[in-house]
Structure 1
Amino acid sequence: MVITLPWEVTPTLAVGPGCAALGVGRRAWLGEFPDPATAHASLSAAAGVAPEVVAVDLHPGDPARRWAAQAGLPIRAVPRHHALVAAVLATHAVGPDEQVIGLALDHGGYGPDGATWGSEVLIAGYKDARRMSHLDYVRVAGATAARPHRLALAHLRHAGIPWDLDLPPVRACSTRERRTLAHQLETGYGCGATASLGHLLDALAALGLEGRGVGTPYPAMGLDPGTLVRAVVADLRRGTPTDEIAARVRATVVALTAEQVRRCADDTGLDVVALAGDVFDDPALTRATRKTLPGFTVLSGKPPLVLGRLLCAAAG
């Protein structure tokens, strides 16, 4: 498809997993492609112009980066969470020189420090993004979407909660797996660090939380996810219904993000907020976030990540 861009760009190709976008002037051609080479050929033919630069993810292992280097094309690497916010700005035709408070909350992406980001409060425009706050890092090892119990055990360890068998993710691990994971988390061998809110929510879901409502938040948790994990485990052990706990978790996330937004607004005078990332795929959480930000203009949407990556790279 062809979309209108909020400002003129030099020919820039942005590539992501299975999709790509080529921006030329005030238009961008977007589509799904099996690989960067096919995207380059197809979009260049559609636009009638070849790109002057290729925008890729910041991760050094991004296949698009390797392809662009082999093709001899200039490369601009864009952090995932900057691109997420920029894509929302483009959807709302925000100008090239404007800045907003960006909430980039998702299941993680490679950050400039090599850790997994995903709870980002940014001051962002297209050209740059400044990280204002995020959740404290949690050491993780071998956690995947298919193995959320490992995320849960890492968050329990971070929170100082013993791996007792009354907790579902502990029971989901064999004794050998728990022993190996404990050694990794203690020594750091084979571990990474995550500040992803999506990872935290997955870890709490692995404790057996269910429900989609928004309830009363837990007392202020600050930026340490261990505070929320301890509160949730205490409620579980008291026999609190899991849907009630899930609603309190969602409300706590909303309260924390609103607090961080207001802090940024006090520091910068900005009054526009962009909601970006897959955490906002939750309609109840998104509605509640909007309600806690009276006086702010709140932008949201689910635009393609490559659109934001294109505009960040084009902005220089």
Structure 2
Amino acid sequence: MAKTYKIIVSGQVQGVGFRPYVYSLAKDFSLTGTVSNNEHGVIIYVTGAPKNAEGFYDNLIKNPPPVSKIISSAIEEVPIQNFNRFQIIPSSKEGQVNLPLTPDFAICDDCKKDIADVKNRRYNYAFTTCVNCGPRWSITKTFPFERAHTSIADFPMCESCNNEYTNPANRRFHSQTNTCPECGISFEFTDNRGNIFKAENIFKTIAKQLSEGKIIAIKNTSGYLLCCNAEDDGVVKKLRTLKNRPNKPFAVLYPSLELLQNEACLNAKAIDVLTSTERPITIISLSNYKGHIALQEVAPGLNQLGVMLPYTGILQLLANQLDVPIVATSGNIHGSPILSHKKDVEVKLKSVADYFLHHNLEITHPQDDSVLKISDKYNFECLFRRSRGYAPNYLNVEVQSNDKILALGADLKNSIAFFPNQHLYVGQYLGNLENFDVYNRFVEEIKAFINIFEQKPEVILVDKHPNYQSTQYGLELSKKWNTKLYFIQHHKAHLAAVLGEYGLFKDDNVLGVVWDGTGYGDDGAIWGGEFFKYNAGEMERLAHFEYFDWISGDKMSKEPRLSLFSLADESFHDLLNSKFSREELNVLTAIKSKNKLKTSSVGRLFDAVSSVLKICDFNSFEGEAAMLLENRIIDYNIGRCVNYCKGFSGKTIPTLLILKGVQSDIKNGLETAQIATNFLFTLASIIYKVAENSGSSKICLSGGVFQNTTLIDMLIELNDNRYKLYFNRNLTPNDENMAFGQMMYYLNCENRTHLQ
């Protein structure tokens, strides 16, 4: 006897080809009924033999579409309904959105074949997509994910596209981003004076211009990219000057995996990441590099390179015309957010780009490319930037709260988090809120989240630093909406981010290690070298690096030599004289004698060591000194390492002692690479010494210092299965995880500071 069942599936199930898949599967099991999107996910009604319905449900949950991610599902018998057939019906929305949003997906192999096939009607059509690939979050206006709720709605489907859209046998069946050359998005190619150029194959023209040393701003599906020939040192140098980015490495787009493999060594893990649906920039080693990239201009002083493969039809069609790798960096002036509007680009990049490739698809959520690095020894995947392909979902944590919560993160490397329903959303990387345009983007994203979910927060979470832009905006919103406001200490939020990723909040005696550049401490000092003991909701500061003077405000993070000056004693006299003028030393000595602000920052210790080793005295980008320091280590032998802090046994780590160990090895003529290795070995050894003293068996590690993958490898190697190590894995260890950490701390920890 036939029965009717109602099935609800929640998770990343909209914009991923879920309904067409359900349609085909229902046909296979001889079921009639309907499938549609709603504010909770996908709702299915099936009528048929109970055995068939159970088989259908089991297959659906165990083998969903490739880019979907099911969080929960339920099936229940309901009163019998008679359906003539199985069909996809229009989405209904009876309440507020309560489902994960959908990130952008890299172009799939089938669509790549379509645009390369001369006989295919989408030959050379850059916006070719299907249910398995294409832009999602970058074009979303509201949810559920339907064409009418995206900017693609500006392009009504032609008859051919509509036939595909309604044909169950077609892979574009119910593909919401379906367009073609007849009805779709169009390009405009101009020079920087606004002159429009026509070409039979625009990408062939662009490839020619790139080969001739031109800089081209290309509008991709998530924002503009500035591109030039990566093998032409002159044009790369020019781009650096015009973009105001003197040393920070550029990302390089390789036309194909084959070319990349011919020029660089890739392991299986790197290939998996480079070809994934997220398709991030992946940082690889340059050992045994055989290519012709202008490395000193593309990645100054580094033995690593950020590479990526084409992830949209636009980049794939360009790649088809290229035989060399190209620089593909965010379309902006250094420090500003990625640009996505034609008018903005023509004004702000007029003096940077020689040519512009525009298109008329509106980008509603501009996103930088995500960045990931794989450690050399143990293949640990460390996210450096979480943006396109990953945001705005966070599917790996279950949140229990009746509050609607907005977390505003920190100022540097800002991202936001929102919990308006039963799901947690962690937005894309936004940047440094000290930049006016980044701050405006931050405000716009908050408004977008509130509009999509039709919910205002009842609780707002901010960093404890009173002068952060994010904190100030939280105060403003709290007064405007009359909501509760909580201050969460910076480093406790970092620790909570790791505890949240692994679901460790009910555990006892967990050691938290949080090392970064700066964060406002509970005692008014600038923390950054912290150890915490976590016991089921309580965080206690257990140990920290010995305080030293925080001088010259934000300038200290920009000049590693200032960290050296702050830490140095008389034995560094000659070195300081070589780095500062007599007038500078007099001023700094006077400042230091009156200074009351102290820091425990390991980030600044990295700066001081980098300065002592004459690697870097001035940072042109955040973390440059630390990156260059790690870069000196090509390989290491753990058996040859020396611990500069071997006698440490108390609660305060002797910071100066570590620096003097470095100084001693320099005087003894030890090579810089081995000294840098000894420094990282010392830091790793300190962690295990504190763990031993605390009796903890679990160690959670977060903060920007843990972007150092050599340090991560050392920790894994030294561990020898004595402790369970927990690093950020689905989030970055840097301040991008701050909003998520604030959310986790609020939901799971005590002693929150509430502003009445």
Relative to the length of structure 1, the TM-score reads 0.88
Structure holding more helix per residue: 1
Q: Which amino acid in structure 1 is aligned with residue 700 of structure 2?
A: A
Choose the corresponding residue for 2:710, options 284, 287, 298: 284
Q: Answer yes or no: is 1:147 the counterpart of 2:559.
A: yes
Change (3 A) 1:98 1:253: same
Change (3 A) 1:286 1:105: same
Match of 2:419 in 1: 23
Choose the corresponding residue for 2:678, options 232, 235, 248: 248
CA distance in 2, matches of 1:23, 1:96: 18
Does structure 1 retain, via aligned residues, the 8 Å contact 2:461–2:474? no
Does structure 2 retain, via aligned residues, the 8 Å contact 1:88–1:300? yes
Alpha-carbon offset, residue 298 of structure 1: 0.9
Match of 2:506 in 1: 97
CA distance in 2, matches of 1:126, 1:107: 27
Q: Which amino acid in structure 1 is aligned with residue 458 of structure 2?
A: E
Spell out the pairing of 1:192-203 with structure 2 (5 A cutoff): 192-203=597-608
Alpha-carbon offset, residue 184 of structure 1: 1.8
Q: Which amino acid in structure 2 is aligned with residue 15 of structure 1?
A: L
CA distance in 1, matches of 2:647, 2:490: 26
Alpha-carbon offset, residue 41 of structure 1: 2.1
Match of 1:175 in 2: 582
Choose the corresponding residue for 1:296, options 706, 717, 723: 723
Structure holding more strand per residue: 1
Alpha-carbon offset, residue 97 of structure 1: 2.7
Q: Which amino acid in structure 2 is aligned with residue 261 of structure 1?
A: A
Does structure 2 retain, via aligned residues, the 8 Å contact 1:104–1:120? yes
Q: Answer yes or no: is 1:38 the counterpart of 2:444.
A: yes
Match of 2:266 in 1: none
Alpha-carbon offset, residue 146 of structure 1: 2.4
Higher relative contact order (CA 8 A, sep 6+): 1
Does structure 2 retain, via aligned residues, the 8 Å contact 1:141–1:192? yes
SS at 1:229's partner residue?
Answer: helix
Percent identity between matched residues is 19
Does structure 2 retain, via aligned residues, the 8 Å contact 1:65–1:75? no
CA distance in 2, matches of 1:126, 1:114: 26
Alpha-carbon offset, residue 144 of structure 1: 2.4
CA distance in 1, matches of 2:548, 2:580: 19
Does structure 2 retain, via aligned residues, the 8 Å contact 1:68–1:74? no
Choose the corresponding residue for 1:137, options 547, 558, 573: 547
The Cα offsets for residues 109-140 of structure 1, whole Å up to 9 and x where unpaired, read as: 11111111111111236844210001110113
Choose the corresponding residue for 1:187, options 594, 598, 613: 594
Does structure 1 retain, via aligned residues, the 8 Å contact 2:407–2:461? yes
Change (3 A) 1:219 1:95: closer
278-287 or 210-219, larger mean C-alpha shift: 210-219
The Cα offsets for residues 54-109 of structure 1, whole Å up to 9 and x where unpaired, read as: 110011112233223333232111111111111122222x1543342111011121
Does structure 1 retain, via aligned residues, the 8 Å contact 2:462–2:742? yes
Alpha-carbon offset, residue 49 of structure 1: 2.5
CA distance in 1, matches of 2:507, 2:686: 25
The Cα offsets for residues 185-235 of structure 1, whole Å up to 9 and x where unpaired, read as: 2232xx521101111111011112652246232351531111111221122
Q: Which amino acid in structure 2 is aligned with residue 199 of structure 1?
A: R
Does structure 2 retain, via aligned residues, the 8 Å contact 1:82–1:128? no
Spell out the pairing of 1:36-115 with structure 2 (5 A cutoff): 37-71=443-477, 72=479, 73-92=483-502, 94-99=503-508, 100-115=510-525
Does structure 2 retain, via aligned residues, the 8 Å contact 1:29–1:47? no
SS at 1:313's partner residue?
Answer: helix
Q: Answer yes or no: is 1:272 the counterpart of 2:685.
A: no
Does structure 1 retain, via aligned residues, the 8 Å contact 2:551–2:591? yes
Spell out the pairing of 1:200-215 with structure 2 (5 A cutoff): 200-208=605-613, 210=629, 211-212=632-633, 213=636, 215=641
Larger radius of gyration: 2
Change (3 A) 1:297 1:74: same
Does structure 1 retain, via aligned residues, the 8 Å contact 2:399–2:424? no
Q: Answer yes or no: is 1:3 the counterpart of 2:429.
A: no
CA distance in 2, matches of 1:262, 1:25: 42
Change (3 A) 1:197 1:126: farther
Q: Which amino acid in structure 1 is aligned with residue 642 of structure 2?
A: T
Q: Which amino acid in structure 1 is aligned with residue 604 of structure 2?
A: H
Spell out the pairing of 1:210-249 with structure 2 (5 A cutoff): 210=629, 211-212=632-633, 213=636, 215-220=641-646, 222=648, 223-249=653-679
Q: Answer yes or no: is 1:261 the counterpart of 2:261.
A: no
Alpha-carbon offset, residue 237 of structure 1: 2.0
Change (3 A) 1:95 1:242: closer
Equivalences, count: 304
Alpha-carbon offset, residue 179 of structure 1: 1.0
Q: Which amino acid in structure 2 is aligned with residue 179 of structure 1?
A: N
Q: Which amino acid in structure 1 is aligned with residue 665 of structure 2?
A: D
Q: Which amino acid in structure 2 is aligned with residue 155 of structure 1?
A: L
Q: Which amino acid in structure 2 is aligned with residue 22 of structure 1?
A: F
SS at 2:522's partner residue?
Answer: coil
Change (3 A) 1:126 1:59: farther
Does structure 2 retain, via aligned residues, the 8 Å contact 1:149–1:170? no
CA distance in 1, matches of 2:674, 2:609: 13
CA distance in 2, matches of 1:156, 1:63: 33
SS at 2:644's partner residue?
Answer: coil
Change (3 A) 1:26 1:264: farther
SS at 2:516's partner residue?
Answer: strand
Does structure 1 retain, via aligned residues, the 8 Å contact 2:644–2:662? no
What are the ranges of 5 or more consecutive residues in structure 1 without an aligned counterpart? none
